[in-house]
Amino acid sequence: MAYVATRGGERAIEQAERLFRAEMGEITEARVAEIKAAMPYLIDRVMGEASLYDEDLAALALAQTGGELFEAVLVLRAWRTTQPRLQVADPITQDALFTHRRISAAFKDIPGGQVLGPTLDYSHRILATDVLNGFPFKPAEVEPAAQPAPAYQPSVAAWQADNDLVDLPPIDDTAPEDIPDVTREPLLFPAKRAHTLQSLARAETGGALALGYAAMRGYGQAHPTVNELRLAEADIMVRHPNGTAFSAGRVKVSQAEVVSKKGEKLELGFAATLGWNEVKCISAATLDLNSAGAEKGSATEEEFFIYHTEGVESSGFCIHFKLPHYVTFQSSLDAMRDAKAKAASRKEPAE
């Protein structure tokens, strides 16, 4: 009898993949378009975690993976790897963002006003079961305000800085193409500021929430107040080789500033990501707020939260435990049995 399994492995993995894909059936352009139209917030979440802004590709990734989010993000990141870097866009300041929603919990009102924008915050979370009985849910029409809020809003932290309540970080005038990029160079600690912010922007939402929540509950030194939460669109300004600056389009971004009292000043935590994802930004900003001086190995320490909120790495490692480990297991068994035999032989002479 010979080993016949050599090709068996290949057949097995092929058929297993077919089983998975059979459930989703044919993937058409229409399906991708429907996912994109129906689930903008899911698309945003996936684009943020993949650090790749393309709604069509994100919708395709969701279609292709049946909504297995970790797989969707992985397939997008792997695609991202293959793309050349053509341009680095100009940096953009908060007051240059086309703002849809901007709220502050720190003040009743803020310069520029509280702009609620689109949110489910004050909705009653009632499942629209009628839809399943043949009565479509038609959202009520939005009534435009008599005076629309200005699209461009200053940052709340800027006002606080003017009033000597907070020290803003010094302006970083690193040339755009010199900004460190964690996908092109190793992440080392203490992390470069750009690496920290980029890692938080790419963080897995649930992971950022879990650790951010731990900090909010008291496993951090600082209690966050949401200074500003903003959902906006950012202009992507790039340069033609002849020097002309032009907009390559707008991308949805979200950002959170959280503050905490430290002595006579406020301390600032910040996070931003591609797409609209409020939970992630507030959680990530809370981690950022708590990271200075955090104890090594605590949930709010930079190395701890950056590594453990990296969704592609953590999910990959988690599922890798499904792979056979019988060689390592055999090696451990051998050591255990030998130790046991040694223990038994030590006991014998005493009897």
Partner 1 sequence: MTAIPIPSEAERRSNQAFDALLTALSRPGSIQRLPQPGEASIIEALLDRECRVFCADPLLMPIVLATGAIVADLPAADHVFAGALQDLDVVNGLDLGSHLYPDDGATLVVRAVLGQGPKLRLTGPGIETTVEVTVGSLPEGFWDLRRQRIRYPMGFDLFLVDGDWVLGMPRSTQVEVL
Partner 2 sequence: MSLATLTKNWEPMSYGFLDASAKREIRRKMLKAVAVPGCQMPYASREVPMARGWGTGGLQVSLTLMNPSKRVKVIDQGADDSVNAASIRRFLARVSGAPTTLDTLEADLIQSRHRIPEEKLREDQVLVLQVPNPEPLRPVQPNMSIARQMHADADYGRMWLQLYEQIVRSGRVMQGASYPSLVNGRHVMTPSPIPRWDVPKLHMAKHLTILSAGREKRIHAVPPFTRVEPLVFDDVPYKVEDHGGLTCNRSGAKGFFMNEIPQDDGSSTYEISDSEFGVKTIKQAEGERVEFGETWYTDGEMPS
Which partner from the list partner 1, partner 2, none does 233 bind, CB cut-off 5 to 8 Å by kind?
A: none
Instruction: Verify binding: residue 185, partner 1, rule CB under 8 A.
Output: yes
Least Cα distance to 21 among 73, 76, 68, 74 occurs for: 68
Q: How far is the CB of 221 from partner 2 (least distance, A)?
A: 19
Instruction: Verify binding: residue 296, partner 2, rule CB under 8 A.
Output: yes
Instruction: Verify binding: residue 2, partner 2, rule CB under 8 A.
Output: yes
Contacting range for partner 1; rule: CB under 8 A; set: 110-118, 181-189, 277-285, 338-346: 181-189
Distance of CA 256 to the CA centre of its chain: 13
Q: How far is the CB of 238 from partner 1 (least distance, A)?
A: 17
Q: Smaller CB distance to partner 2: residue 41 or 189?
A: 189
Instruction: Verify binding: residue 185, partner 2, rule CB under 8 A.
Output: yes
User: Whole-angstrom Cα distance, residue 58 to residue 76?
Assistant: 7
Contacting range for partner 1; rule: CB under 8 A; set: 54-62, 114-122, 184-192, 233-241: 184-192
User: Whole-angstrom Cα distance, residue 341 to residue 339?
Assistant: 5
Instruction: Verify binding: residue 108, partner 2, rule CB under 8 A.
Output: no
User: Whole-angstrom Cα distance, residue 230 to residue 276?
Assistant: 9
Q: How far is the CB of 112 from partner 1 (least distance, A)?
A: 40
Which partner from the list partner 1, partner 2, none does 29 bind, CB cut-off 5 to 8 Å by kind?
A: none
User: Whole-angstrom Cα distance, residue 57 to residue 68?
Assistant: 15
What would the two tokens of residue 150 be?
């200005």
What would the two tokens of residue 184 be?
């092109």
For residue 211, which phi and psi values (nearest 5 degrees)? -75, -40
Give 262: exposed, middle or buried? Use CB within 10 Å, 0-12, 13-18, 19+.
middle
123: left (phi over 0), alpha (psi -120 to 50) or beta: beta
Applying CB under 8 A, the site for partner 2 has a residue count of 60
Q: Smaller CB distance to partner 2: residue 94 or 198?
A: 198
For residues 219 and 298, is the Cβ–Cβ distance under 8 A? Answer: yes
Residue 249: what residue type?
G
Q: How far is the CB of 7 from partner 1 (least distance, A)?
A: 21
User: Whole-angstrom Cα distance, residue 284 to residue 306?
Assistant: 10
Which partner from the list partner 2, partner 1, none does 177 bind, CB cut-off 5 to 8 Å by kind?
A: partner 1
CB count within 10 Å of CB 224 equals: 25
Which partner from the list partner 2, partner 1, none does 248 bind, CB cut-off 5 to 8 Å by kind?
A: none
Q: Smaller CB distance to partner 1: residue 14 or 162?
A: 14
Instruction: Verify binding: residue 116, partner 2, rule CB under 8 A.
Output: no
Instruction: Verify binding: residue 177, partner 1, rule CB under 8 A.
Output: yes
Contacts to partner 2 from residues 248-277, by CB under 8 A: none
User: Whole-angstrom Cα distance, residue 270 to residue 156?
Assistant: 12
For residues 75 and 51, is the Cβ–Cβ distance under 8 A? Answer: no
Q: Which residues bind partner 2 (CB under 8 A)?
A: 1-3, 5-10, 12-13, 74-75, 77-78, 80-84, 182-190, 296-297, 303, 307, 312-313, 315-320, 323-336, 338-339, 342-343, 346
